[in-house]
Structures are given as structure tokens and as C-alpha cells.
């Protein structure tokens, strides 16, 4: 937090590969600066969503019946 104030920044992000204590979430809610806390689970999900640092293991297609196809039959 001191680095944000030192650089006169209004917003910032802190990332951890684990999790933040509940006190950290309460603290960022109580300050003027906009601070985003990203924990390991959120970071991993972003990596998966954007194919960054991950390898695809398997892929599945989920299909449903197209009712419009059978209307003219």
C-alpha cells in the first residue's frame, strides 16, 4: 500500500498465488485508493480463460437437439 501512496497512484492490484487474509480485504475496502486483490484461484482462472501458461489436455463437445431441423419434416 505504501508504494501506491508513494507514487501517488489512485489504483493498483496485488496478486498472490495463495490467498489474502480476511483483514486484507477489509483494509482495501476502508481506504481511498482503489485496490484489487487477486488470489491464486482467480489468477489460475484467468490463465485458463486466456490460455496463458496452460496446456489443453482434453476437449469435449456438448450437443443439443436442433428443434428447428425437425419442424419441416
Name 11's bridge partners: 34
What pLDDT, on the 0 to 100 scale, is given for residue 1? Answer: 60
Mind listing the pLDDT tens digit of every residue in the chain (73 residues)?
A: 667 777 888 899 999 999 999 999 999 999 888 999 999 999 999 999 999 999 989 999 999 999 888 887 6
Gap between the Cα atoms of 4 and 48, Å rounded:
29
Residue 26 contacts residue 45 (beta carbons within 8 Å): no
- The region that residue 39 occupies, defined by phi over 0 for left and psi between -120 and 50 for alpha, beta otherwise, is beta
Chain position carrying cell 490467498? 19
Residue 36 three-state SS = strand
| Domain spans, the chain | 2-54
- Please name the residue ranges forming H helices in 7-52: 22-30, 40-49
Amino acid at each position: 500500500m505504501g508504494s501506491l501512496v508513494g507514487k501517488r497512484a489512485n489504483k493498483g492490484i496485488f496478486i498472490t498465488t495463495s490467498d489474502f487474509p480476511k483483514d486484507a480485504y477489509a483494509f482495501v475496502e476502508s481506504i481511498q485508493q482503489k485496490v484489487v486483490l487477486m488470489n491464486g484461484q482467480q489468477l489460475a482462472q484467468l490463465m485458463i480463460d486466456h490460455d496463458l501458461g496452460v496446456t489443453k489436455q482434453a476437449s469435449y463437445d456438448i450437443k443439443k437437439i436442433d428443434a428447428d431441423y425437425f419442424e419441416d419434416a
